[in-house]
Amino acid sequence: MNRRLLALSEIIAPYRIPVFNELARQSGIDLHVVFLAENDPALRQWAVRKDEIHFSYEVLPAWRRRIAGHNILLNRGVTHSLEQRMTDHILVGGYNYLASWQALAWARRKQIPVLLWVESTGQDKRGHHRPVEFAKAAFMQRCDRFVVPGRSSLEYLMSYHLPRRAIFTAPNAVDIEFFARSASLVRRDAAARRRALQLPSRFFLFVGRLVREKGVFDLLEAYGRLDPGIREKVGLVFAGDGVSRPELIRRAASIAPGTIQFPGFLQRECLASYYALADAFVFPTRTDPWGLVVNEAMACGLPVISTRAAGCTADLVKERCNGCVVEAGEIGQLAGAMDELARDPIMRTAMGRQSTERIARYSPQLCAAGIAEAVLSCGGPRLG
């Protein structure tokens, strides 16, 4: 008999759709997803691709505001949705929304197992505030199983003294087949695509929100420290949008020689072209629970320079294998890694090949299998 699983997720994110599609196909799982909102246009401009959804879902009425830097999201109909589905298990995608606490309270009354999907890490600077940590601990103590994307989140959960046997790994994933296929098509006609996008002949690529905590000013300064001869040959592209974009453009104007471009936010179809044409991907973040753009870049066969602050680094980026790992905020280290990759095409090619091989283990299918294993383990008594 199938286990009825209700998954509570914030928005219809493009990287979650392939995972939920695969989860719905898992043997023994009857999936229904409740989204708290369709999207979050103030932070993310992703297109909502409902035509790609092949699982049962609904979107709750929502009210969202940002107050003093905090994301407030309130929903109507949470309890009604839970009652209507009469689910066997609940998978909660975080503990920072009122709906998550409502679902937890409802599940405890009904004696239904709750699984918590945790992406936080010990280096995530969004945490470490005493009231927040107290709330996290209280939420976790009431959950039955935990799902993590990789090693950094696993270590973080273990610091809360949770039983190891209650924690399951579902490797964080994007649609690697889409990005690999798209990149391959672009490279077949690279010169024409480069001209159409008006891109430099060679460039380092950053993808993400243009905000200080993503390390974008560190990256700009590191690029400015490169030898002028390197900057004449290799540009820098910031793909994304955010509050720091005007200041970045202003500072970039003072760097010469060098080509620095800001194409703005890119949907995935266009984004794949930028990955395919770049020399390397740079992820200089100062705080990030994971960093799925690294998955995307690796799926497109790019070497990666990433900071240790990114949750994905411990799993995805192996030093001297498929990229370079630097300390967050260490601009000298970042510039050194960029310089080395810029000068060595053989290294770039070898690292790109390794990225392609390593990312194959981070597919939507394997992510879904990890979640399904956690759900199906709930048949016995609570672990605590």
Model confidence at 302, pLDDT cuts 50, 70, 90, reads: very high
How do residues 69-103 score in pLDDT, each as one tens digit? 678 899 999 999 999 988 999 999 989 899 999 99
pLDDT number for residue 78: 96
Tokens 């270590």 sit at which residue? 155
pTM of the shown model: 0.95
Residues in the chain: 384
If one counts every other C-beta atom within 10 angstroms of the C-beta of residue 71, the result is: 14
What is the pLDDT confidence band of residue 66, given thresholds at 50, 70 and 90? confident
- The answer to whether residues 150 and 312 touch, using CB atoms and an 8 Å cutoff, is yes
Q: What pLDDT score does 44 carry?
A: 79
Residue 383 pLDDT greater than 90, yes or no: no
Does residue 127 surpass a pLDDT of 60? Answer: no
Contact present, 50 and 12 (Cβ < 8 Å) = yes
pLDDT in tens, 170-192: 999 999 999 999 999 999 999 99
Nearest 5°: phi and psi at 322?
A: -120, 10
Confidence label for 237 from pLDDT (cuts 50, 70 and 90):
very high
Collapsing DSSP to helix, strand or coil, 265 comes out as coil
270: Cα within 13 Å, side-chain hemisphere? 13
The average confidence (pLDDT) of the chain is 94
Residue 176, H or E segment: helix 176-188
Q: How many CB atoms lie within 10 A of CB 267?
A: 12
Examine residue 257 and say whether the peptide bond preceding it is cis (omega within 30 degrees of 0).
yes
Give the per-residue pLDDT at 380. 41
The predicted structure's pLDDT at residue 70: 74
- 10-25: per-residue pLDDT in tens? 999 999 999 999 999 9
Q: Strand locations in the chain, DSSP E?
A: 3-9, 29-35, 56-59, 62-67, 70-75, 89-92, 114-117, 145-148, 167-169, 203-207, 235-239, 260-264, 280-283, 304-307, 323-326
Say if residue 343's pLDDT is above 70.
yes
Q: What pLDDT is recorded for position 126?
A: 56
Average pLDDT of the residues in 192-219: 97
CB atoms within 10 A of CB 350: 15
User: Are 71 and 49 in contact, with CB atoms under 8 Å apart?
Assistant: no
Question: Could you give the percent of the chain with pLDDT greater than 90?
Answer: 88
Confidence at residue 125, expressed as pLDDT on a 0 to 100 scale:
58
DSSP 257: S
Q: What angle do CA 322, 327, 329 make, to 5 degrees?
A: 125
Residue 12 to residues 36, 203, 212, Cα–Cα distance (Å): 9, 32, 26
In the chain, the domains with their CATH numbers are: 3-173+364-379 (3.40.50.2000), 176-359 (3.40.50.2000)
Write the CA distances from 121 to 21, 94, 97, 182, integer angstroms: 26, 13, 18, 32
Strand pairing of 203-207 and 280-283? parallel
Residue 130: pLDDT band (50, 70, 90) is confident
Residue 128's pLDDT band (boundaries 50, 70, 90)? low
